Amino acid sequence: MKLYTYFRSSAAYRVRIALNIKGLDYTAIPKRLPGPAEHRQPDYLALNPQGLVPALEVDGQVLGQSLAIIEYLDEEYSEPPLLPADALGRAQVRSMALVVACEMHPLNNLRVLNYLRGELKQDDEGVSRWYAHWIAQGFQGLEELARRHSGDGLHCYGKQVTLADVLLVPQLFNARRFKCDVSPYPTLTAIGAHLEALPAFAAAHPAKQPDAE
């Protein structure tokens, strides 16, 4: 397997975590996002027409979108599972994961921030306010969901790692990188601290990647 990635991409970070949890070997192929924008070059667009990272190449086919990749990995390599055995549990975990994937990350990814700075002429303070606003909006709800559904205070749902945990850790990393106050979310930060120490999560950290700056 080949993973087209960028060390600071939170979506790629998610997939690295999932690959590590599943114990799968892969070749990382970094695609720099800022500066030369390697993800927008013709050779990469020929592989992944969306021109985004991550993308996973498997047996000559390329999958885009981090959640689709992670669910493929969970279906193809079932142990350890990233979704509960029951339908309601799976829906609940997906719901928590989608708070990050659909409500938070799309509003705060690099393309959006660059558009705010460039097209809309926002200064760094304005961009930071935008980022912090959507972090707070998402984490407020997710904090309560984690309180309700964590079985041990160490995982978002139940007592084992799920898809919700895989998405939480990169979003916490991004929030701290942009100097957002995460102290109002003690449940999430406690879960994050536990997860970040696990080998599969630690090895996926941006600072551990070959293209880290």
Question: Tens digit of pLDDT for each residue in 21-71?
Answer: 999 999 999 988 776 677 778 889 999 998 899 999 999 999 999 999 999
What is the mean pLDDT of the segment spanning 121-134? Answer: 86
State which amino acid sits at residue 108.
Answer: N
Task: Let me know: does 203 contact 197? Beta carbons within 8 Å.
Answer: no
Model confidence at 207: pLDDT above 80:
yes
At residue 176, the 3 state secondary structure works out as helix
Model confidence at 111: pLDDT above 80:
no
Q: Mean pLDDT highest for which of 97-111, 118-132, 171-185?
A: 171-185
- Measure the CA–CA gap between 193 and 98, rounded to whole angstroms: 21
